[in-house]
Structure 1
Amino acid sequence: MKKLYLYILLLITLICCNGQTNDLSKNFNTLSEYYFDKEQKIPMKFNLDKKGGGYSVYYIPKENQQKYYTNFLKTNNINPIEDEYNDTYSYSEKDRKKINLLLKNKLVDEQNYDIIGQYIAPQYFKYEDNDNYTVDFPYTIKFYKKEDNKWLFIKEISIKNYNDDMAYSKKEFIKSLLVGTNISKNQNLNKEKRQTVDLLENWKGKYSLILNENSDDWRNIHEISLIISNDSITYSAEGFQLYEYYMLKSSTKDSHSLILNYLKALDDTENERHLQKSKDFGAITFDGKNYIWESPYIDLNFNDGKKRKYIIKKSQ
């Protein structure tokens, strides 16, 4: 019982996943003990040992399952044992077995869940005896998603202090790992903006580009702009007999580049002739001084197919 209590304490304060090697990621499939996190209202599996480190798997219920887990404890007459002194909780042995059996049967159908794994390497745990331990700061968290029955590495995060620890222990953060990945493609996303982007903070803003600015023929001048926010990317192009207003999506991103593709037309502005040539809007890179846009869509439709690097202006 004491060991279970300590497991729960770890899982409430940490959220992580690892296995940057295939051998490591296989360990997620060997976890067999199910647990219900009453704070996050999500089912999970976990294991902790001195040699292997700490593994956990989080099952994020999709909309058709959320009500069940919101009322999971009440429906199944399970009463957590609160420890006000340590601000945590545990379950009786009877309830623990009950939870394990209920979730084992319920989670057979994994298509109703988005699944995130977490791992902390054993060197970050400091054991006082066989059961008691602490996790020393700083430590590293590694995250995986489960897709097509494979564990795919997402990211690694360094936890520097207690505030970091709390920030990355929320269900909202776990769910944010799904945005922009294939694992979220089957979710009911009426909010298509959420499907398109999970942008890094430094990409937010308005970007502008004027093509053929010095042309003697004003009909050749085209004004192009990108507006990037936390939940959407919009592209617009205006000029003589030209008006395009599209929503784009980010297929990949890192701290130095942003890859863009067509998602859908807004305001009935779909230009079929242009989109037939390409839906690849290319990539924006930041070289430390300038934002540079290389775009097959712009090259094919506004530059006679000639490849060019466009320096674009950014404003907040």
Structure 2
Amino acid sequence: MEIKRINKIILLLVVLFFYGCKEQNENQNPAPVIQDTQTKKSHFELQKKVSNNGNVFQYADMIFEIKSKEELYDILINNDEFFTEIILDSPDLNIWYYKYNEDRIILLEGNDYYGSSFYAYHLINNNLFYLGDFTIQQLNIENEKPYKKEFEINIEKDKVIIQALLNGKPSIKNAYKDHVNQIRKKDLSINPQIVGNLAVKWLGKYHTTLTNDKKSTDSRDTDTVELIIKKDSVVFHVDRYWGEYNYLLRASEVENGIKLTFDKVLDGDVTDVLQKTNDFGRLFFDGKNYYWQCPYLDMYYNNNNKKYVLNKMK
């Protein structure tokens, strides 16, 4: 009887020993955590165009202009010119504008028949960084509908991730190192000559078209004339068939208007008219339209005390 009792005690101790080991192993090896592998959605939202006039793309908070300079193209963003200097052989140009908080992603698309080339940029705090480029081809376009293109964009640490979707399916994915290639911006605020602070209502780009030959139907005889007003500078810009020029103007706010005079040449030609007058007149608003009375324009385009109606882009 004593031997049986001892055997039972030994058996009980063995059972307790193995049970304790099992519990310890379970504590050391917890069940694996199942990770969510679902594809991340884009933090950046595609913005809707308000208008599109040629190479000018207007949004609620941004105006983009793709500007041709010989064989190269630069980008103007809210009147700030960035020297992107890219080559675009495509006949159709487009802007994809994405926004997330203070970050802006801009995809410049050159579209031809068999595909599109994209140039990606990151705009933050009015600084523009080139990310890189990629191509989406559709070589069998004759036998299928054009792709429906979408992009999911995220920023992860020091990289911008751009995932292309074609007809809703993931396609090309690129990861670009950020804040490396900063694009140089044209400096138009050299010794700005602004007396006092101009009211916010005057800031923006004003433009019209003028010609020296009113009988001509040739578009090459028509100039685009712009007045670009910022908080620290006013620039007179003329874009002609054979070239362009920019003058920095002095500005002071007067009753219901702005008085303008010539200050210096930023680039381009010095016209003969400048030797006769430096008076760039007065910009004013009548409650409905913006008008510009400008002796310089009168002399250059052979007009007589004309009020030029200007279109304003904020």
TM tier, shorter chain?
A: 0.3 to 0.5
Q: Which has the higher contact order (CA 8 A, sep 6+)?
A: 1
Using structure 1 for the length normalisation, give the TM-score: 0.36
- Structure having the larger proportion of residues in strand: 2
Which has the larger Rg?
2
Q: Is the helix fraction higher in 1 or 2? A: 1
